[in-house]
Amino acid sequence: MNQQHDIHDDPHLKRNPFKAPEGYLESLEEKILSLAGIVQNEEVREVVTSSRGSRWFNVLKPALLLACTFGVIFGMGYGVLRLTGTLNKPSDTEDSYYAKMIEKGLIRSSFIYPIEEELGYEDFDDEEPVFDEEEVVTWLATQYSSMDLAQLYYDEK
Amino acid sequence: MEDSDIIRLYKSGQPERAFTFIVRKYGERLYWHIRQLVADHNDADDILQETFIKVWNALPAFREESKLYTWLYRIATNESLTFLKRKRLRATFTFRDPDADMASFIESDPLFDGDQLQLSLQKAIATLPPKQKSVFIMRYFHEIKYEDISEIMGISVGALKASYHHAFNKVQEYLKKEGY
C-alpha cells in the first residue's frame, strides 16, 4: 500500500462535508426567535417558564395515570358490588327475613320484652332493686343453717 | 458584537435584543456543531431549537464564570450527547448497530456533499463513542482550544488530550483499513 494519508493538516478533510437545506440557514434566526415567540415580548417568557411546570407534569404523568387506573378499577368494582347488592348485604338471608318480620311488627325484636312484661318491669335497667332487710334475714335463715352462715361470715372476713 | 456586549445588553434589561444577538452570532455555528455530531439535518434542527430554548430559560442564571460561547457549546453538546445516548439505547433494544446505521445514513444522505475520503472520515467518526466524537469534532473541525473544550465538556485538559489522541488513532486506523 502507498503512504498513509495524513489527516492531521488536510484542509480538504477539515472542510465541512454537510449541506443544509436551501434557505434553512437564512431563516434560522427568524425561526428560532419566533419559536414560541420567545423574544417577542415578556408574556412569552412566562409561557416558556410555565412550560417548566408542564415538564413536571410530564414527569408525574405516569404516576397520575397509574393512580387514575387504580381509581377506575376500584370504582368499577364498587359499582358492580353495589349493582349486584353484594355490598352491605347481611350474610344470613334469614336475618333479613326476621328483620322484615320485626319491621312489620309480626314478631318482637328481642326475647327480653316478654320476660320484662311477665315480671311487670317497665324500666328494667333503670330501677334500683329494693331489699327488705327482714326478708333477707328470713330467707337466709331458711336456706342455710347457723353453721353455714358462720362459715360464710368467716370466709368473707 | 462581542460576547461581553451581549451580556451587558442583557443586564441592561434588554433580554430579547441580547438573545437576538446570540442567535445571530451563534445560531449557524451551533447548528454545524450539532449537525456534525448527529449527522441528520432534522435531528440537528430539533436539537438546535431545544438548545436555544434552554439558553433562553437559563440566561438569567448565566454567571459569567464561563465564556458565553463555551456555555452555549456546552448546552448544545449536552443536548446532542443526550440525543445520541437515547438513539444508541433505542438501537440496542431493536438489535441494530447504531454506528452502522449512522454510516449508512450519511452515505445515502442527499445533504452530504463530500467525496469518498470525506465519507470514509465521517464513517470513521460515526464509530467513535459520543463523548470522544464530540471532542474530536470540536478539536479537528472547529479547532477549539483544549482549554475551551475543557470548559464545554467539564473534563480536564489532560483527559481531553488523551481522548482526542485515542479518537484520532481510531479514525486513522479506520481510514487505513479503507485504503487511505
Average pLDDT score, chain A: 71
Residue A32 and residue B23: Cβ atoms within 8 Å? yes
Residues of B in contact with A41 (CB under 8 A): 16
* pLDDT reading at A29 higher than 80: yes
Q: Of A14, A36, A52, which has the smallest distance from its Cβ to B141's Cβ?
A: A14
* All cell numbers assigned to B152: 464545554
Q: Chain A contact for B31, CB < 8 A? A: yes
Q: Which residues of B fall within a CB distance of 8 Å from A14?
A: 140-141
Segments of chain B with pLDDT less than 50:
none
Task: Kindly state whether B65 is in contact with chain A, defined as any CB-CB distance less than 8 angstroms.
Answer: no
Q: Is B120 on the interface with A (CB under 8 A)?
A: no
pLDDT tens track for A74-113: 888 888 888 777 666 555 555 566 667 667 666 655 555 5
In order of their start, the domains of chain B are 3-177 (1.10.1740.10)
Angle made by CA atoms B179, B118, A28, in degrees to the nearest 5 = 165
Which cell goes with B15? 433580554
C-alpha cell at B93: 433494544
All residues at 6 or more sequence positions from B54 whose CB lies less than 8 Å from its CB, including other chains: B75, B79
- Please say if the pLDDT value at position A121 is more than 60: no
Average the pLDDT over each of A19-23, A62-66, B82-86, B136-140 and give the range with the smallest value: A62-66
Residues 6+ apart with CB under 8 A from A25: B28, B31
Cα-atom radius of gyration of chain B, to the nearest Å? 17
**Residue A53 scores a pLDDT above 60:** no
* A33: pLDDT strictly greater than 80: yes
Q: Which of A2, A18, A43, A48 to mutate to test the interface with B (most CBs of B within 10 A)?
A: A18
pLDDT for residue A46 is more than 90: no
What's the burial of A6, exposed, middle or buried (CB within 10 Å: 0-12/13-18/19+)? exposed
Dihedral Cα B101, B104, B106, B110, nearest 10 deg: -120
Q: Is the dihedral of CA A39, B149, B112, B106 positive or negative?
A: negative
Contact (CB<8Å) A48/B53: yes
A39 lies within 8 A of chain B by CB: yes
- Residue A156 has what pLDDT? 74
Nearest Cβ partner for B27 among A13, A29, A52: A29
- Is 70 exceeded by the pLDDT of residue A130? no
Q: What pLDDT was estimated at residue A50?
A: 47
The grid cell for B53 is 430554548
- Spell out the domain ranges in chain A: 22-84, 93-156
Determine the pLDDT at residue A56: 63
Cβ neighbours of residue B39 closer than 8 Å, sequence gap 6 or more: A18, B102, B105, B106, B109, B122, B126
In A, which residues are within 8 Å of B176 by CB distance?
Answer: 4
Burial A104-124 (b: 16+ CB within 10 A, else e): eeeeeeeeeeeeeeeeeeeee
Q: Closest chain B residue to A3 measured between Cα atoms?
A: B180
